[in-house]
Structure 1
Amino acid sequence: MNINTMCVIGAGTMGVGIAQVTVQAGMRVCLLDATEAAVAKGRHLLNTNLSGGIKRGKLTEERAATLQASIEWSLDYEVLRQVDWVIEAVFEDLAVKREVLGKAAALVPEGVPVATNTSTFVVKDLAAFFGRGEHFIGMHFFNPAPAMKLVEVVPTQETLPEVTAAAIELCERMGKTPKIAPDIPGFVVDRAYAALAAAAIEVWTLGGNAEAIDSSIEMGLGHRMGPLRTADLVGLDIMLAVQRSLYEQTGHPRFQVQPEFADMVESGKLGRKSGEGFYRYDE
């Protein structure tokens, strides 16, 4: 399958990160969102990502400028008529994904695959919104997408083998390590991590110190980063959405959201990106 042009729907944290790794892999990419404000925020996120790459010595200023100029930004879904691959990366909200995938179904040419970056929803259910299950697949990137190597590739029973093979090849072209995951809520990583994070958050609500919780799990289980620090890195709003989604889909008490955690997120403490979460970040 010849993939040279991609559209990423959703100019948030994940969409911008996926677009960055796509253009770094030498493909043309368009970032599509619904409002000028979303696009402006996406441009700022990209600038932040590229500036960070320059500071860490991963990118030169010239390379960063080239990457920035290579990404097209659009508010018009008509761009979907001219691409070889689509990745949906909007917020983890079922109603939003239903609307976006419905719009995409009317414009994406027959035979062009659409992937969802969902972290929790069953891919088969999202494929029903698009209507062409044989050309629909899950490609779950991790945050921050430019740095994290793993991509969970999630075919459904309807996904054509050649689409799965193309998704794997696309991940490798981006410098990622694809792993096939089962089409269940949360797949592998988020299902396992959400359970651990929920337990750590419960200990925190019962009076545990965040640093002590993290360092104990790091030392006791051999983890490189504790679950609360990881949640701060991922974004506590995203973590809250993941927990709520998994609880709604499975009904399992291990995913039940602690009220104190929800209150913290709703107060604007989102982790690293807001400067405060379980930890404070002074940058």
Structure 2
Amino acid sequence: MSQLLSKPFNRVAIVGSGLMGTGIAQIAAQNGFQVTLVDRTLADLERAMHQIRTNLLKLFQMEQINESQMKRTLDNIYTTTDLQNSKYCDFAIEAVPEKLAIKQEIFKELDTLMPEHAILASNTSSLSIAAIGSVTSRPDKVVGMHFFSPVPKMKLVEIVRSVNTSDETVQVIREVGERLQKQIIIANDYPGFTVNRVLVPMLNEAAFLVMEGNEVEEIDKGMMLGANHPIGPLRLSDYVGIDVLLFTLESLYEGFNDSKYRPCPLLKRMVEAGHLGKKSGKGFYKY
């Protein structure tokens, strides 16, 4: 057995306590990992812990966890504004905004802080894992670990391997994902990976239909009843965030230089108007 595969991977640093990072921290703590949750301010961390407590209380009320499990989950989470505390962890999952420069800066710092065996994972939904790992001295231990929102409910994790990611790293992160009670698929390091590569062009096409004068409700009804989708593409776009959808489309368009990924102009107008979907109160629907 290799040195990497023989190491226990029980302590995880999660960098970023937004919606995704908070969800990842919760499920990691629920499944027995020792979590170090890192963000820039105490207010960010307090908001994250409030959300985790709220989520756990709902599970308790639905009798999906007991009081002891709820307490143990919270005890498994340590919050800090100091990235230096990641040096005690076996692997890191970065969940900060989708900007390559920001992610590279974090990975560069994690690389200097964390032990030699540590794996560095990114929750990016579209950025190049090879580019993120290029700033480290361990590109073979850099991998994508793409969760889906809401993290506690969605069953899938995409593991994304770059040209530099080792087989051992993929195997360890697969085992981590399975310990998190997730189903795993492996994707290669091309823009959009697997799910967004298929999904995002469909959401974009739905936006073109709206721009052409079709009714939002009719489009969603058509896909729900005609394609057996549980939710319509425009409602889903609102949940994803119109800004996030636009950014992912732009990444696909730039990454492949292919006109089939050209973002619908309506999406750009919506973002400029601040109509970002559910989180802003208005997107294709009002909330």
- Does the pair score TM above 0.5? yes
**Among 104, 108, 113, which residue is 1:107 paired with?**
113
Unaligned runs of 5+ in 2: 1-6
Distance in 2 (CA, whole Å) between partners of 1:43 and 1:275 is 24
Unaligned runs of 5+ in 1: none
Amino acid corresponding to residue 17 of structure 1 in structure 2:
G
Deviation at 1:276, TM superposition (A): 3.0
Tell me the residue number matched to 1:262.
268
1:147 paired to 2:157: no
Mapping of residues 229-248 of structure 1, within 5 Å: 229-248=235-254
Q: TM-score, normalised by structure 2?
A: 0.89
Tell me the residue number matched to 1:27.
33
| Contact 1:199–1:254 (CA under 8 A) maintained in structure 2 | no
1:130 paired to 2:136: yes
Distance in 1 (CA, whole Å) between partners of 2:62 and 2:180 is 20
Residues 161-216 of structure 1: per-residue CA shift (max 9 Å, x gap): 22111111111111000111111111110111111011001111222222211111
Paired residues, what number?
281
Distance in 1 (CA, whole Å) between partners of 2:212 and 2:57 is 39
Tell me the residue number matched to 1:98.
104
| Contact 2:87–2:114 (CA under 8 A) maintained in structure 1 | yes
1:206 paired to 2:201: no
Structure 1 residues 68, 271: closer, same or farther in 2, change over 3 A?
Answer: farther
Tell me the residue number matched to 1:43.
49
Distance in 2 (CA, whole Å) between partners of 1:48 and 1:228 is 28
Deviation at 1:54, TM superposition (A): 4.9
| Contact 1:198–1:254 (CA under 8 A) maintained in structure 2 | no
Deviation at 1:104, TM superposition (A): 1.1
| Contact 2:156–2:183 (CA under 8 A) maintained in structure 1 | yes
Distance in 1 (CA, whole Å) between partners of 2:274 and 2:64 is 31
Deviation at 1:110, TM superposition (A): 1.0
Amino acid corresponding to residue 104 of structure 1 in structure 2:
L
Amino acid corresponding to residue 256 of structure 2 in structure 1:
T
Amino acid corresponding to residue 236 of structure 1 in structure 2:
I
Query: Which consecutive segments of 4 or more residues in structure 1 shift more than 6 A?
Result: none
Amino acid corresponding to residue 190 of structure 1 in structure 2:
N
Q: TM-score, normalised by structure 1?
A: 0.90
Structure 1 residues 129, 85: closer, same or farther in 2, change over 3 A?
Answer: same
Q: Percentage identity across aligned positions?
A: 36
User: Matched residue of 1:277: which SS?
Assistant: coil
Higher mean alpha-carbon deviation, 109-118 vs 252-261, is at 252-261
User: Matched residue of 1:186: which SS?
Assistant: coil
